[in-house]
Structures are given as structure tokens and as C-alpha cells.
Chains A and B, each alone.
Chain A
Amino acid sequence: MLYAILCYDSEDVVWAWTKEEEAAAMARLGVVVEKLAKQGRLGPVARLLPTTSATTLRKGRDQLVIDGPFAETKEQLLGFYIVECTDLDQALETAKELAGASGTAGAFEIRPLAVFRPGGPVG
């Protein structure tokens, strides 16, 4: 079984880390991550840019593009895609295509990645 582990924290705090604090946290996490990689259990790892870089696409009949992150609490996070795009326009185009195919309401939050590590074979 594959599990996703989603990271929640205050971005105010995390994005205000000094270089040293950042390096220390990454070193601590790195120990765990490398262990998982050696065991062949580590899939993709991603770190997202702050929510200020996000754009939200409201799905449904009238697709609506909104600046900022997905802020509602009525819906739950059900999954995600990671797609290579040249810019936000292409990312939105892709999201709209997926939205059209999904046939449900809800939303896609489009957020660029700060860090991506593809990971080895898992599962």
C-alpha cells in the first residue's frame, strides 16, 4: 500500500527560517528520507512554494480562476498531479482540461514546486 504523508505547518514560520535553520531541519529530515530511499520505499518528495504563489481553478460548469490558495473547508484534499508546465498559463490550461474531464464540482489549486525529488521504484 502506498501512503502519502502531507505536511502542514505555518508557512510564515517556515519561510522565515534562516539559511542555518533551514539547513538544520533538512539535515534532520534527510536522515529519515535517506533511510527510506535505501529501503526502496521512497516515492516522489515535493516541497511547495508558499500559498501566495497559488492560483485556484473552481471546477464545474463555469470555470473560475481565483488568485490565491484553495481556502474552503467544505471540500477535502482527494489527490494531486505533478505536471511539467512552461508557465502558469499552461498549468491553468492543463488544470482546465482535467477539470472538464472530472465532471464534478470542487476545485484545483495550482501551486508551483520549490523542490522535487522523483524517488525510486516503490509499491
Chain B
Amino acid sequence: MMDLAWIEAALVSARPKAVGALLRHFRDLDTAEEAFQDASLRALKHWPLNGPPRDPTAWLIMVGRNVAIDGKRRQAREAPLPEEDRLSDLEDAESPMAERLDEADYRDDVLRLLFICCHPALTLAQQIPLALRIVSGVPVREIARAFLVGEAAMEQRITRAKARIAAAALPFETPGAVERAERLDAVATMVYLIFNEGYSAAGAERDRAALAGEAIRLARLLLRMFSNEPEIMGLAALLLLQHARTPARFDAEGAVILLEAQDRGLWNRSMIAEGLALIDKAMRHRAPAPYQVQAAIAALHARAARPEETDWAQIDLLYATLERMQPSPVVTLNRAVAVSRTRGAAAALEMVEPLGDRLSGYFPFHGLKGALLCELGRIDEARTAFGRAIALAGTVAEAAHIRMHLDSLTKNS
């Protein structure tokens, strides 16, 4: 007997490699997707009877290819489909196929599939839904819910994205080393953005929050194929260490709980262990880059059993490194948090204030400024900053958190 849930999970996990290989074969996204869909239906019918194939991915590619080719032939000649049994008799076909498709093929296939989804002809609002649909196989209904649009509208967005891609020249040749690195870079950014969509929605919107888990799955997939890329280790570590804190990030009313006030007992220990192991592996390469540095910062938080044990001096240094690699007012703002712990609120405020021009529309800027002013006893100015923050809050949870600060100001003054 075979568990249906097992088959479904196996189909989801085989999907990126199988659709990627089918895309290389047919050079058309719709055909590749349909072929995988047909193969999946056959798997649901045959695997419970015959047991799962030794290599489910190779099975799905082979069956998908045969079904699609037969479909095309039928369209061309109106010839009947071959008998179902003949079509699915894969016992002999499976092993040579599995041998021919080694990990290196899969690697470029999956990378191409992901890379197509972050094609420059597409907007970000198209890229993420397309990747979720094509690579992860998330149903359109769920993607629509995650992005708070109707199913028909999301279907249309994805169809348009596919049409744009079909019109663009797609890279089907095997990439060279430089090109492969560029693709990997673009794909890593997309995975990071998918994670952020989910991370920022956690606590409030369940459907959107599930994107964080999808992003981790994609990061693990990349890591398995590019096992000696320290920046992919860094990316996966960063996502795992951040996601581990999710159960502690909101109170019962859904308001944000800041890192230092979180119940660390709620943090997911096995995700932390995995994240720490990955950052350890990455550091051995002595090739620091932004994801690794951010993961190292997250690791320092994860390693502190209590907030007082946080190594803020080291975090300050790491943010300074990140500022050099990737200068951005947001990075400086984050560094200011560490500075407020090591050198005090006045020093941190000095760092934060010049960012006002560029971050005037950024919620965390006013939140941090308010907190620092509050610490320095400048209550009226703090109130103004918190007021701005509330006006800019993107979620109810963010607004609720700032309101709590404001309430305590009123109580204490």
C-alpha cells in the first residue's frame, strides 16, 4: 500500500527537476507544464498499484515526454493514443534514462526554469507568482490568496507573464561558468524576495506567510545542486535562522514582538541547528558576501540563550561589513540598533538622523527613531516619530506594536 500523501509530496519534490527537463526537451513552458501534469495523474494511478519507481523524477520525465509526444502526434495525424499499458510500461526505460540524466543536467535545467521566472522582461509582481506556479507547483488559487487578488486576475497575470517569456529569447544552451554564476545570483535574489513576502506577512496573513516555507524549499533545492557555493549556503542559513523565530514574533492579538522580547523557547531549534551548520560550512570558504554576513548576524541572535547574552559588538562589526559590501540606508539603520546597545542611544540617534531624507517613508526608521528619542527622554519628539510610524505601518501588527509604545509614553508622562 502506498500513502497518497507520500505520492503527492514526491510529486511536489520532483517537480522542479522534471518540469525543468521537460522544458529543455519541448522548449515551451505550457507544453512542459502540461506534460508534467499528465505524468503526475498517471503516477497517482499507477504508483499505488505497482509501487513507486526507483527514481520518481526520471519516471515523471519519461512518462511526461511520451504523453506529450503522443498528444502532438495525435493532433497531427488524428491517430489514436497507444494503449495505456504500453505507454506506462517503464520498467526497462527507467534505468538508462536515470543514468543519462545526472545531477549536472538537472542543475542547469532547474536553474534555467528559475532564471526564466526572474526574466528581466517580467515585473516583480509577475516573477514571484510565476515561480511559485511553475517551479513550486502552488495552485493559482493559493497564489491569488497570498497576493490578495482574485483567482481570475492572478490566472491572467501568470498567463501574461508566460506570453512575455514566450516572446523573449530563452536561454536553452548550456550556460558557461560566468553565466551560470549570474543566473544563480538572480535566482538567489528571487528566492530571498519570495521569503520576504512570506516573512513580512507572518502572523497576519496565513496564505502569504506560507511563501516563507516555499522559499526555504527552493533554497535547499539550490543548495543541493550547488553544494559548494558559500553564498547559497548563506542564503539558506539566513532564511532558516529568520524563519525559526516566526512562532515567537507575534503576540495573541497579532502585534509584533521585537527580537529582544521574544520567548526564545518558541524558536524552532532544528531550523536553528540547520542554519548554524550551514553558516559554519559557508565560513570555511573565506569568501564573505551579503547573505553570509546577514546569516552570521542572525546566527549571533540565535546563539544567545538570553537577550543580554547577545554579542552586539560583533553584530555592529558585521553590519559595518555589510555596509561596505552593500551600502544602503536600511543597513545603516539596522547597524544603529547594534550601536544603541554598544555605544548608547545618543550615538545611535546620530547615525539614524542623517538617514531621514532617504527613509522618510520607511516605517522602521520612525519606529527606531521614536524608541531612541524615548530612551533619551525626548518624549514629545518620540511621540511625533511614533505617530509617523503608525501612519506608515504596512500591517496591523506593525501599527499595534507602535501604538503600544505610544500608550506607554502617555502612561509615563
Contact = CB atoms under 8 A, between A and B. Distances in A.
Does chain A bind chain B? yes
27 contacts: A10-B9, A10-B13, A12-B9, A12-B10, A12-B13, A13-B10, A15-B220, A16-B213, A16-B217, A49-B273, A49-B274, A50-B274, A52-B224, A52-B227, A52-B274, A52-B278, A53-B274, A55-B284, A65-B284, A67-B228, A67-B233, A68-B228, A87-B280, A88-B280, A89-B284, A112-B273, A115-B270
A52 B228 CA distance: 10
Contacts of A12: 9-10, 13
A114 B275 CA distance: 11
A115 B213 CA distance: 21
Interface in B266-300: 270, 273-274, 277-278, 280-281, 284
Contact of A88 (B220, B224, B274, B284): B284
Interface string A1-19: 0000000001011011000
A13 B281 CA distance: 24
Contact of A114 (B273, B281, B284): B273
A74 to B, nearest CB: 16
B10 A53 contact: no
Interface string A58-74: 00000001111000000
Nearest to A65: B284
- Chain A interface size, as a band, is 20 to 34
B277 A16 contact: no
A52 B240 CA distance: 13
Interface string B141-173: 000000000000000000000000000000000
Nearest to B275: A53
Contacts of B5: 21
B6 to A, nearest CB: 7
A16 B9 contact: yes
Interface of B: 5-6, 9-10, 12-13, 213, 217, 220, 223-224, 227-228, 233, 236, 270, 273-274, 277-278, 280-281, 284
A107 to B, nearest CB: 15
B13 A53 contact: no
Given A52-B227, A68-B228, 16 more contacts: A10-B9, A13-B13, A16-B213, A50-B220, A50-B274, A52-B220, A53-B277, A53-B281, A66-B228, A87-B280, A88-B277, A88-B281, A89-B284, A112-B277, A113-B273, A114-B273
A86 to B, nearest CB: 10
| Interface residues of A, dominant DSSP | mixed
A35 to B, nearest CB: 23
A13 B9 CA distance: 6
Nearest to A115: B270
Contacts of A89: 280, 284
Interface of A: 10, 12-13, 15-16, 21, 49-53, 55, 65-68, 87-89, 112-115
Contacts of B10: 10, 12-13
Nearest to B12: A16
B12 A114 contact: no
B173 to A, nearest CB: 27
Contacts of B12: 16
A114 B273 CA distance: 7
A68 B224 CA distance: 8
Nearest 5 pairs of A and B residues by beta carbon: A12-B13, A68-B227, A88-B280, A53-B277, A13-B9
Contacts of B9: 10, 12-13, 16
- Among A49, A52, A89, A112, the most chain B Cβ lie within 10 Å of the Cβ of A52
Contact of A67 (B6, B227, B273): B227
A67 B281 contact: yes
A13 B277 contact: no
Contacts of A88: 277, 280-281, 284
A13 B273 CA distance: 19
Nearest to A51: B224
A15 B217 CA distance: 9
Contacts of B13: 10, 12-13, 16
